[in-house]
Structure 1
Amino acid sequence: MEENRRVWLLGAVVIGVVVVLLGGYLVFRGGAESKLTVKSIPNDLTLTLDGKPIKANGDVKVRAGEHTLTATRDGFQSYTETVTAKGGDPLFVKMYLFSNDPAGRAWEQDNPDQALEAEAEAGRRYDEIQKRLRSKYPILLELPYIGPGFKATYTDSKSDPDNPEAISLKIQLFDSEGKTKALEWIEGHGYDPATLDIIYTR
């Protein structure tokens, strides 16, 4: 009887240890850190991660979840990107800024290699945005279009001007029937004018 009691006690202790270890592993795994590698151009820009300063180039550990990177430098447009860390998977982010005044352009002349790399990144970002825009606004595949009394193109969104992935359909009218014909063309291609951000010009 005493022997059985010891066996049961030992078994309970072993099970308890296994449960604690397994629970600790699962908790740790769920909150695993990811390595975030950042490459910045200009390489001396100011970079923050969730509002806290970090090195412009190099690695930093981040917890699972969303994180916001913001890069700034005199002479350049600021840039913000949100990244999502998952289960310890490594992340790589390019924080490339583009000049917007003489000081920034002077830096580019002094650093041609970095400027060329940033220019290539700008082209890649543009292509990605265009791809997403075509998916979001299929009518872009029809543009530009010249019809009876109108010309259809697109421009930055009038209702959401700060969003690079929002557009307005721009309809230039040439005569009194242009608007009617433009709406017929839009509906004839299966689009609802009420869902489009339309700007009419003459």
Structure 2
Amino acid sequence: MEEESPRLWLLSGVVVVILVVVIGGYLVFRGGSQSKLTIQSIPNDLTLTLDGQQIAANGEVKVKSGEHTLTASRDGFQSYTQTVTAKGGDPLKVKMYLYSNGPAGRTWVQNNPEQALEAEAEAGRRYDEIQKRLQAKYPVMRELPYIGPGFKATYQASKSDPDNPEAISLKIQVFSPEGKTKALQWIEGHGYDPDTLDIIYTTK
């Protein structure tokens, strides 16, 4: 028995080392997996960066697992930033479409009508997707616009988080002295807590 004990300890040690190597190698390999990111841009000559490094506006690039930030810009167009998350080597597809907001952009639109129409269609899809997410996040939107006694309820871009396209403020336009009170009663009557909403009161 005394002679077998060292052998058992040695065998156990070998097994532990093998397990550590196998599991460690798996975790390293898994953590180092890369995903193929396919990018389509309009205009196709825009400047595109991935995590601050310039890359081709169209084509494929390998990215490691985790969050990555794409930023597109061009003279005459509104810049656009999108965050993507790569997981386990799964392929990703991103459309970086910009929309004109200046003379150079409007000239480009006139000279490239097909790409402009495709970008416009994508804008419609983005809007619909954002509206669905907003309504899921802010159910009160389903009640808007609403005109009540002494007030009108609508919504606008968030005043407290203006850079977030998926955040809103509930705008209450007050017409009479009791308008604010009536608006709060209306909000609570529909099962919403005013303290959880970003509410803006205005008389305009």
Same-fold status (TM-score > 0.5): yes
CA displacement at 1:193 relative to structure 2: 1.2
In structure 2, the gaps of 5 or more residues are 1-10
CA displacement at 1:21 relative to structure 2: 6.7
Q: Distance in 1 between matches of 2:18 and 2:191?
A: 64
Q: Distance in 1 between matches of 2:22 and 2:171?
A: 63
Matches within 5 A, 1:24-173: 24=25, 26-173=27-174
Equivalent residue of 2:68, what SS?
A: strand
CA displacement at 1:19 relative to structure 2: 7.6
Query: Who is 2:7 aligned against?
Result: none
In structure 1, the gaps of 5 or more residues are 1-10
CA RMSD of aligned residues (A): 2.1
Which amino acid letter does the alignment assign opposite residue 135 of structure 1?
Answer: A
Identity of aligned residues (%): 79
Matches within 5 A, 1:173-192: 173-192=174-193
CA displacement at 1:201 relative to structure 2: 1.7
Which amino acid letter does the alignment assign opposite residue 44 of structure 1?
Answer: D
CA displacement at 1:28 relative to structure 2: 2.0
CA displacement at 1:130 relative to structure 2: 0.6
CA displacement at 1:24 relative to structure 2: 3.7
CA displacement at 1:187 relative to structure 2: 0.8
Structure 1 ranges of 4+ moved more than 3 A: 15-26
Q: Distance in 1 between matches of 2:177 and 2:130?
A: 35
Q: Distance in 2 between matches of 1:162 and 1:62?
A: 26
CA displacement at 1:53 relative to structure 2: 0.8
Query: Who is 2:4 aligned against?
Result: none
Q: Distance in 2 between matches of 1:179 and 1:34?
A: 52
How many residues are paired up? 191
CA displacement at 1:177 relative to structure 2: 1.3
Which amino acid letter does the alignment assign opposite residue 130 of structure 1?
Answer: Q
Q: Distance in 1 between matches of 2:134 and 2:124?
A: 15
Which amino acid letter does the alignment assign opposite residue 52 of structure 1?
Answer: Q
Q: Distance in 2 between matches of 1:186 and 1:94?
A: 38
Q: Distance in 1 between matches of 2:34 and 2:178?
A: 62
Q: Distance in 2 between matches of 1:200 and 1:123?
A: 30
**How big is each residue's C-alpha offset from its partner over 1:11-61, in whole Å with a ceiling of 9 and x where there is no partner?**
9xxx88898577545522331111111000000001111111110000111
